[in-house]
């Protein structure tokens, strides 16, 4: 399986994406996956359209990207986290 590039983005690239990044890192380890995690500001996503396989973000985005976008707010509120994790895993295992 080729290594997937996963973008983790929030508005500033310092707070919420840090938490989401940590959660995904843990998830990746638990599932023995090999993933290239890139933590960025949402404004920087444009630079990765050719390489990324998935965008996980707490910031809203109205742009269309050639890869799936998963909202990661549940990692912060704790409500619905398991569903979001499943969604991410499904994409990573594709």
Partner 1 sequence: MSNIYFNESVILLNLEAASKEEVLKIMGDNLLSYNLVKESFIPAIIAREEEYATGLPTAGVAVAIPHTDVDHVQRKAISVGVLKDAVEFGVMGDDKETIPVRIVFLLAMDESHSQLSLLQQLMGVFQTEEALMSILNEKNKTNIRSLLEEKLDFGVLEGEK
* Footprint of partner 1 (CB under 8 A): 10-16, 18-19, 21-22, 39, 42, 57-60, 62, 71-73, 75-79
Among 52, 35, 51, 49, which Cα is nearest to 89's? 35
Rank residues 4 and 57 by Cβ distance to partner 1 and give the closer one: 57
Rank residues 43 and 49 by Cβ distance to partner 1 and give the closer one: 43
Min CB(39)–partner 1 separation in Å: 7
Rank residues 5 and 71 by Cβ distance to partner 1 and give the closer one: 71
Min CB(73)–partner 1 separation in Å: 5
CA atoms within 13 A on the CB side of 88: 31
Strand 54-57 and strand 69-71: pairing?
parallel
């Amino acid at each position: 399986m080729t290594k997937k590039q996963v973008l983790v983005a929030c508005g500033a690239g310092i707070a919420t994406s840090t938490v989401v990044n940590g959660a995904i890192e843990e998830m990746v380890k638990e599932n023995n996956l090999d993933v290239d995690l890139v933590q960025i500001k949402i404004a920087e996503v444009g630079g990765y359209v050719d390489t990324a396989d998935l965008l996980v973000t707490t910031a809203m985005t109205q742009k269309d990207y050639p890869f799936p976008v998963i909202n990661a707010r549940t990692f912060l509120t704790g409500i619905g986290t398991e569903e979001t994790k499943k969604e991410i895993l499904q994409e990573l295992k594709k």
